[in-house]
Structure 1
Amino acid sequence: MRRRTLLHAIPAASATLLLGSEGAAMAATGSFQSFLVEVDRLAAGQGVSYATRRAALVGLQPNSDVIRLDNYQPEFTQTWAQYSAKRLSTARVAAGQQKYAQSQQVLAAIRTEYGVDPGVILGIWGLETNYGSYTGGFSVVQALATLGWTSHRPAYFRSELIAALRIIDSGAVSPQGMTGSYAGAMGQPQFMPSVYLKLAVSFSGQGRPNIWTDIPDSLASIGNYLHVSGWKQGLPWGEQVILGPGVDAPAIDPDQAMPLSQFLSMGVRRLPGHPYAPSTLPTRLIQPDGAGGAAYLVYPNYKAIRRYNPSDFYALSVGLLGNLVTA
């Protein structure tokens, strides 16, 4: 089959028939097949082979579950106490302790190579995919194609789709093996394809990073991500503290960093067994449930966690889970 006829072989089922009335509205912006023709052209321009484009794109159809999940925006009503109780469950901590015991050698090697401490890597691994036990069952190519055609960020998802095709073309994974979330996040670290191309590493020596089934590659890729994000080895991400009666927490700007010593002079009290932190370390105070709730001092390494996911609930959970697992 010649290249110009590649995508003419894709079944031309209409979006209306495939997705019902919801699909009919989306088809007004152009057919799914027309979208794939454009992706094929762009991917070819980036050097993706004919064989890969054929294997990944021929017969591809939109996924209505992806569209439903993308359109569903649940109201976020959980408190920090509720969120953390679920993510720091006894079962998750116990599973993490077991994984830590099994992975200490590779985690030590990752710390030597990238300067990232094991706890934060385990915390991200545990929150993202429950230590690799659930990585998402969606076809990444299909999910990204669907979102590239229908979402409010078509250019972003189209570029991620082409990045996914480049990964497949490298031989790292087959189209069928490239699974992930409905939004295209892949494997045990839940990397988007563009992040994989920039930061995934082959730590087990197989040549191409395998973040789907290879634990050393998955953990080292998380470590490399944090290293590039500015993680400093041997320094804490943060810690829970007690606010003394003289601390006027509402008057403290949570976005304004001050030396740790300044918070201590205000009456912020550290708990027994607190981590080492220089008195000059830039520090912020956050209370995720507001005044009267739990209080935390967070340090520059906290920013590296938030680059993985820009949520205080997420970043705090990663740090606390890592502490519990490696205690």
Structure 2
Amino acid sequence: MTRIEREESAWLMVAGAALTMSVVAVVSLMAGPAHGQTASGRGGLVQRGDVTGSIQQQLQAPRQVRPAPRRMAQAAPPKEWSGEDGASGHPLMTADAIRRSAANFDRCVAGFWPEAHRRGISQQSFTRFTADLSPDLRIMDLMDSQPEFTKAVWDYLDILVTDARLTRGREVLAQHAATFAAVEKAYGVDRYIIAAIWGIESNYSTQGGDRSVLNSTATLACIGRRQGYFKDEFLAALEILHHGDLTPQQLRGSWAGAFGATQFMPTAFKRFAVDFDRDGKRNVVDDVPDIIASTAAKFKKDNWQPGQTWGYEVEVPQGFNYLHADRAKSYTIAQWEQLGVKRAGGKPFPRNTDKAFLLAPAGADGPGFLMLGNFRSIMRYNPSEAYALAIGHFADRLRGGGPFLQEWPRQERVLSRTERLELQQLLAQRGFYRGEPDGNLGGETRKALRSFQASIGAPADGFASSGVLDRLRRR
């Protein structure tokens, strides 16, 4: 698996685990630390690989239930660990390795004291907050889950951008208009983007995970394949508790440690959380000014450009060379227009000097999008193109915009994981793909697909359709 593939499949690994069902088949979904910085894949704070638990719940259960505002949904009783080897094949994810690490859990946690002391955590706080920790081995199954089936980008959008969520989002914007205005003035970040993040990450604080962040990060710091990364998250969680910004009861979230209304990882909290209402605490769980401002602070740090949008839906002409549709290839709007790309609906572009890349998440048969720098800022919150598209579109709808104008190819069948593995294997056999087949369709796989499609005279859009797989099987 290449570095790019690892980064772009990141929807499956950290942050609260929101999307352990990747949208990988249709777009390059997750990558690396995520939403947030990283691990929250919610940088948003999540880290590559995982998505927040709330998003995962939404994708697994598309039917929307609107709970009472400002109250977290009750989690189902936790399942037990399967006792099986992890699907990743990593030596630290074998059942025997997990059991050995679990048996050493107390000694492992105690061994973090010197580093905690160097961070200014008192012995009293360390003892108090670690006294009742115990390994949550169910997390090992969640960390290495590899869903057989994925969702198409249009299904993903249908689930996350709903009428009910739009209605609630408009209520939240009206209710906290003064706060959104103050934050927008202070940070220059579009209020509708912040409201969209809040809505999609936790359904406006009604979903967000109910695991102890400290216990989850301690488990992952001592057991499994990402101990180094989660050691830092665990120590950051201890710092949060020691400084009194949040209580243990408030510091609850996803299995990977993402928490709060907009799903911060502990290290992201340290970097970006702000005390906007000046009450002496940085509270991203149930303090609205701090929630809105902390999320905006993250976007400002990630180069959000005030007064600019995230991108435009565009019409791509027939016969277009989709080798131009690459995140690494940015052209000015004027140059895209010279290539025949037009804004959907016949609207003009506000500035023809803006630079953008072309995203075609459903290939030549679906809508195209020209993505500006602010789209990349959203992806720094969660490195998934599908996620960033959902956030941008949801923000536009909150602002009063309408649905996308072009139709998605809903007749297309999304490939199963077994078929995605076969696709990569066949591409490798024919000399187009040099990575390790893993079923995650990231940038390297799309590049290989484009080369194969070009070799047979098909639109080189990099879209992993059942038709492309059939062509590979026949060659």
Q: Same fold (TM over 0.5)?
A: yes
Distance in 1 (CA, whole Å) between partners of 2:244 and 2:304 is 31
CA distance in 1, matches of 2:160, 2:365: 22
Runs ≥4 residues deviating over 3 A? 18-25, 271-277
Alignment correspondent of 2:360? 287
Conserved 8 A contact 1:136-1:180: yes
Work out which of the residue numbers 304, 319, 323 in structure 2 matches 1:251.
323
Task: State the AA in 2 paired with 1:206.
Answer: D
Match of 2:31 in 1: none
Secondary structure of 1:28's counterpart equals helix
Matched letter for residue 342 of structure 2: R
Choose from 356, 361, 380 the match for 1:307.
380
Measure the CA separation in 2 of the matches of 1:275 and 1:67.
50
Contact 2:360 2:367 in 1 (8 A): yes
Contact 1:235–1:277 (CA<8 Å) still a contact in 2? Answer: no
Shift of 1:41: 2.9
Offset at 1:285? 0.9
Q: Which amino acid aligns with 2:269?
A: Y
109, 112, 117: which one aligns with 1:36: 109
SS at match of 2:357: strand
Which residue does 2:230 correspond to in 1?
A: 157
Asked if the contact 2:333–2:356 (Cα under 8 Å) also holds between the matched residues in 1, the reply is yes
CA contact (8 A) 2:81 2:140 kept: no
1:118 equivalenced with 2:223 (yes/no): no
Please tell me the residue identity of whatever aligns with 1:180: G
- Give the drift of 1:76: 5.5
What's the counterpart of residue 263 of structure 1? 336
Q: Which amino acid counterpart does residue 85 of structure 1 have in structure 2?
A: D
Partners of 1:97 and 1:275 lie apart in 2 by: 27
Name the counterpart of 1:185. 258
CA distance in 2 between counterparts of 1:79 and 1:218 reads: 31
Q: Tell me which amino acid in the other structure corresponds to 2:98.
A: M
Q: Superposition pairs for residues 70-109 of structure 1, below 5 Å? A: 70-75=143-148, 77-109=150-182
For 2:184 and 2:390, the matched residues in 1 are separated by 21
Helix, strand or coil at the partner of 1:297: strand
Q: Which runs of 5+ in 1 are unaligned?
A: 1-17
Residue aligned with 1:173, SS: coil
Q: Which runs of 5+ in 2 are unaligned?
A: 1-79, 85-94, 401-475
Paired residue for 1:5? none
Pairwise mapping of residues 9-48 of structure 1 onto structure 2 (< 5 A)?
21=83, 24-29=96-101, 31-48=104-121
Is the CA contact 1:260–1:278 (under 8 Å) kept in the aligned structure 2? Answer: yes
Distance 1:205-1:285 versus aligned 2 partners, 3 A rule: same
Match of 1:60 among 133, 143, 161: 133
The CA deviation at 1:151 is: 2.2
In structure 1, the partner of 2:461 is: none
Q: Deviations over 1:118-173 (max 9, x none)?
A: 11111111111112211210100000011111121101101110011011111111
Alignment of 1:93-242 (within 5 A): 93-242=166-315
Q: CA deviation at 1:265?
A: 2.4
SS, match of residue 291 in structure 1: helix
Q: Aligned equivalents of 1:260 and 1:19: distance in 2?
A: 52
Higher relative contact order (CA 8 A, sep 6+): 2
Amino acid at match of 2:125: T
Q: Answer whether contact 1:60 1:142 (CA < 8 A) is retained.
A: yes
Residues in 2 aligned to 1:261 and 1:19: alpha-carbon distance in whole angstroms: 55
* Structure 1 Cα separation of the partners of residues 137 and 171 of structure 2: 38
d(CA) in 2 for partners of 1:81, 1:111: 31
Mapped to 1, the partners of 2:204 and 2:231 lie a distance apart of 29
Give the Å deviation of 1:75: 4.0
* CA distance in structure 1 between the partners assigned to 2:266 and 2:211 by the alignment: 14
What is the rounded CA distance, in whole Å, between the counterparts of 1:274 and 1:180 in structure 2? Answer: 43
Deviations 1:17-62 (A, max 9, x none): x968556532434600111111223212322112221221112101
CA contact (8 A) 2:325 2:360 kept: no
Q: Which amino acid aligns with 1:294?
A: P
Q: SS in structure 2 opposite 1:111?
A: helix
Give me the whole-angstrom Cα distance separating, in 1, the residues matched to 2:295 and 2:230: 22
Find the residue that maps to 2:363 and give its secondary structure: coil
Q: Assess if the C-alpha contact under 8 Å between 1:67 and 1:146 holds in 2.
A: no
1:224/1:315 Cα in 2 relative to 1: closer, same or farther (>3 Å)? same
Letter in 2 for 1:290: G
Do the aligned partners of residues 117 and 24 (structure 1) sit closer, same or farther apart at CA in structure 2, a change above 3 Å counting? Answer: same
Say what the alpha-carbon RMSD is for the aligned residues.
2.0
Shift of the 124–76 alpha-carbon distance from structure 1 to 2, 3 Å rule, reads: farther
Native 8 Å contact 2:81 2:138 kept in 1: no
Calculate percent identity across the aligned residue pairs.
Answer: 32
Task: Give how far 1:179 is off.
Answer: 0.7
Asked if structure 2 preserves the Cα contact closer than 8 Å seen for 1:239 and 1:298, the reply is: yes
What does residue 278 of structure 1 align with? 351
